[in-house]
Structure 1
Amino acid sequence: MQRDDLTAAELRVLVAVAGEGSLSGAAVRLDLTQPAVSHALRSAERKIGAVLFRRGRHGARPTAAGETVVGHARRVLAMMDVMRAEAHHADGGQATGTLRVAAFRSAAFHLLPAALVRFGHRHPKVTVDVRIVADLGRGIAGEVLDGHAEIGVLGLPAQVEGLVYGELFDEPYVMAYPAGHPDPRSLPLINWHENCSADTRRWLAGQDWIPAGSMTVRDDGVVVSMVDHGLGVAIVPRLTVAGAPARVSAMDLTGDAPLRRVGYAVTREMAASTLVRDLVAALRATVPRALAAADGRRGPSGHGPRDAR
Structure 2
Amino acid sequence: MNDAHGTRWGPVSELLPQELRVLVAVAESGGFSAAAAALGLTQSAVSHSVRGSEAKLGAVLFVRGRSGASPTPAGERAIGHARRILRLYEVMGAEVRGTGRSAPGGDGLTGVLRIAAFRSAALHLLPPALERLTARHPGLRPEVRVVRELGAGTAGEVAAGRADLGIATLGGPDETPPGLLTGVLAEEAYALVHPAGHPDPKALPLLDWDENCGSYTRAWWREQDWIPRATVKAEDDGMVLTMVGRGLGMAILPELSLREAGEAVQITDLGPRRPLRRVGYVTTPESAASLAVRALIRELRSEKG
CA distances 1:48-107 after superposition (whole Å, capped 9, x unpaired) = 233222222111111222111111101111122112222223334333322211111100
Aligned match of 2:117: 103
Alignment partners' CA distance in 2, 1:195 and 1:272? 32
What residue in structure 1 maps to residue 74 of structure 2?
A: 65
Q: Distance in 1 between matches of 2:223 and 2:141?
A: 46
- Report the AA paired with residue 183 of structure 1: D
Three-state SS of the structure 1 residue aligned to 2:70 is: strand
- Matched ranges for 1:1-309 at <5 A: 4-93=13-102, 94-157=108-171, 159-160=175-176, 161-192=178-209, 194=211, 196-287=213-304
Q: 2:249 corresponds to which letter in structure 1?
A: G
Whole-angstrom CA distance in 1 between matches of 2:253 and 2:243: 13
Which is worse superposed, 249-258 or 260-269?
Answer: 249-258
1: CA distance between counterparts of 2:208 and 2:214?
A: 14
Deviation string for 1:28-62 (max 9, x for gaps)? 32233333322322332232233222222111111
Q: How many Å separate the matches in 2 of 1:46 and 1:133? A: 35
Question: Do 2:155 and 2:166's aligned partners in 1 also have CA atoms closer than 8 Å?
Answer: yes
Q: Shift of residue 231 of structure 1? A: 0.8
Compared with structure 1, are the counterparts of its residues 24 and 204 closer, same or farther at alpha carbon in structure 2 (3 Å cutoff)? same
Name the SS of the counterpart of 2:260 in structure 1.
coil
Q: In 1, Cα distance between the equivalents of 2:213 and 2:298?
A: 25
TM-score (norm 2): 0.86
Q: Which moved more, 1:259-268 or 1:23-32?
A: 23-32
AA of the residue aligned to 2:163: A
Contact 1:103/1:132, CA 8 A, preserved across alignment:
yes
Deviation at 1:277, TM superposition (A): 1.1
Q: How many residues align?
A: 287
**Maintained 8 Å contact 1:133/1:140:** yes
CA RMSD of aligned residues (A): 2.2
**Equivalent position SS for 1:213:** coil
- Matched-pair identity in %: 51
5+ residue gaps, structure 1: 289-309
Partner Cα distance (1:262, 1:83) in 2: 29
What are the superposed Cα offsets for residues 106-152 of structure 1, whole Å, 9 maximum, x if unpaired? 00111111211112123322222212112233222121111121111
Alpha-carbon distance in 2 for matches of 1:88, 1:179: 56
Structure 2 alignment gaps of length 5 or more:
1-10, 103-107
SS in 1 for 2:198: coil
AA at the equivalent of 2:289:
A
